[in-house]
Structure 1
Amino acid sequence: MKRVVATFPEGKFKVLTMSYDDGRTADRRLVEIFNRYGIKGTFHLNGGLIGQGDRVTEEEIPELYAGHEVSAHTLTHPTIARCSKEQLVYEIMEDRKRLEGIVGYPVRGMSYPNGSYNSTIKQMLPHLGIEYARTVGGTGSFGLPDDLLEWRSTCHHNRDLLNLGEQFLALHKSQYLYMMYVWGHSYEFDNDNNWDLIEKFCKMMGRRDDIWYATNIEYVDYMNAFRRLQFSASQDFVYNPSYQSVWLKVDDERIVEVKGGTTTAL
Structure 2
Amino acid sequence: MKISFSYYPEGKTKALTMSYDDGQIYDRKLIKIFNQYGIKGTFHLNSGKFDTYPFLNASEIKNLFEEHEVSIHTLNHPFLTSLPKEMVIEEIREDKMKLESLVDYPIRGMSYPYGDYNEEIVKMLPYLGIEYSRTVNSHKSYVLPENFLTWHPTCHHDDHLLERTDEFLKLNSKGRMLLFYVWGHSFEFERKNNWDLIEEFCRLIGNNNEIWYTTNIEIIDYLSALKNLKISVNQKIIYNPSAISVWIDVDGKAIKIESGKYLFL
- State the TM-score, normalized to the length of structure 2: 0.98
1:48 to partner: Cα distance:
1.0
Paired residue secondary structure (1:75): coil
* Mapping 1:96-245, distance limit 5 Å: 96-245=96-245
CA distance in 1, matches of 2:221, 2:25: 29
Paired residue secondary structure (1:138): coil
In structure 1, the partner of 2:260 is 261
Instruction: Assess if the C-alpha contact under 8 Å between 1:230 and 1:239 holds in 2.
Output: yes
Instruction: Assess if the C-alpha contact under 8 Å between 1:42 and 1:215 holds in 2.
Output: yes
Aligned length: 265
Runs of 5+ in structure 1 lacking a partner?
none
Partner letter of residue 258 of structure 1? I
In structure 2, the partner of 1:24 is 24
Runs of 5+ in structure 2 lacking a partner?
none
CA distance in 2, matches of 1:173, 1:128: 35
Identity %: 50
Instruction: Assess if the C-alpha contact under 8 Å between 1:248 and 1:256 holds in 2.
Output: yes
CA distance in 1, matches of 2:70, 2:5: 31
Structure 1 pair 112–45 and aligned structure 2 pair: CA distance change class (3 A): same
CA distance in 1, matches of 2:212, 2:174: 14
Paired residue secondary structure (2:197): helix
Instruction: Assess if the C-alpha contact under 8 Å between 2:3 and 2:248 holds in 1.
Output: no
Partner letter of residue 202 of structure 2? C
1:47 to partner: Cα distance:
1.3
1:4 to partner: Cα distance:
2.7
Q: Which runs of 4+ in 1 moved over 4 A?
A: none
Instruction: Assess if the C-alpha contact under 8 Å between 1:7 and 1:177 holds in 2.
Output: yes
Instruction: Assess if the C-alpha contact under 8 Å between 2:5 and 2:226 holds in 1.
Output: no
- State the TM-score, normalized to the length of structure 1: 0.98
Partner letter of residue 130 of structure 1? I
CA distance in 2, matches of 1:17, 1:138: 14
* Mapping 1:39-58, distance limit 5 Å: 39-58=39-58
Paired residue secondary structure (1:207): coil
